[in-house]
Amino acid sequence: MSVKNALAAKLGIPFLCLGLLFAAGCARAPAELQTISSAGINPDLHAMAIQEVRVLQSKGQRVWCVPFARNASGVNIRGNANTWWGKAKGQYSRGTDPKVGAVMAFKATRRNPMGHVAVVSQVVSPREVLVDHANWKRNKISLRMSVIDVSKANDWSDVRLESQADTYGSVYPVNGFIYPDNTLHPKAPYGTAPVFAFMSTPAKS
């Protein structure tokens, strides 16, 4: 074997190992992204909801929680947020278990007389979720905001939201979760959405 060939052989092994490590790193990369699939949020609806907010903001118009939640989740309910829980009965499944894509329906209170609706974007633990919603901060959208269950029965009937970094605010009562599996139309196209991946860091609102 010539000196040149011997050198190539010695260098070939390290480069081969480096190549394998690089390939392995590429294979792991998608795990660092938040995957949104047909089992949860419809990525097309989610993108459309965000785009609609951007258009409204660019025109100086108000942004509300109801249109955003309806657009992002596919839960086709209209009217003030405090009416969604009642209107969902017989039309959508409801429950107390948080699921990605479900609408968290807040009760009306003195501070929040029209209620509020938010879409679950991630279930972090049995007592924490991340939500996407509009107008919690006036005229803005908040993506991946942490919400914790502080109810005594661990049933998500009372929650606190991380409106500021590392700070959870007041307790808000919640009716429960509305699931986007329209029971009147079980074969609706919502469940056939393709899988997309979005970077975990949201755009600033």
Q: How confident is the model at residue 99 (pLDDT cuts 50, 70, 90)?
A: very high
- The DSSP secondary-structure symbol of 31 reads G
Mean pLDDT for all residues in the chain: 78
pLDDT(195) > 60: no
DSSP H stretches of helix in the chain? 3-28, 43-58, 65-73, 84-88
Q: What CATH fold (topology level) applies to the domain 34-198?
A: endopeptidase fold (from Nostoc punctiforme) (3.90.1720)
For the chain, give the percent of residues with pLDDT over 70.
69
pLDDT(181) > 60: yes
Contact between residue 43 and residue 35 where contact means Cβ atoms under 8 Å apart: no
First to last CA, the chain: 64
Taking residues 147-172, report their average pLDDT: 95
Q: How confident is the model at residue 182 (pLDDT cuts 50, 70, 90)?
A: low
pLDDT(91) > 60: yes
Taking residues 8-18, report their average pLDDT: 44
pTM of the entire structure?
0.71
Count the neighbouring beta carbons within 10 Å of the beta carbon of residue 25.
Answer: 9
Count the neighbouring beta carbons within 10 Å of the beta carbon of residue 29.
Answer: 10
Place of tokens 């209107």: 87
Place of tokens 């074997």: 1
Taking residues 77-87, report their average pLDDT: 97
pLDDT(172) > 50: yes
Q: How confident is the model at residue 187 (pLDDT cuts 50, 70, 90)?
A: very low
Contact between residue 63 and residue 141 where contact means Cβ atoms under 8 Å apart: yes
CA of residue 88 relative to chain centroid, distance: 20
Q: What is the pLDDT of residue 24?
A: 38
Q: What is the pLDDT of residue 40?
A: 75
Q: Where are the domains of the chain?
A: 3-32, 34-198
pLDDT(112) > 60: yes
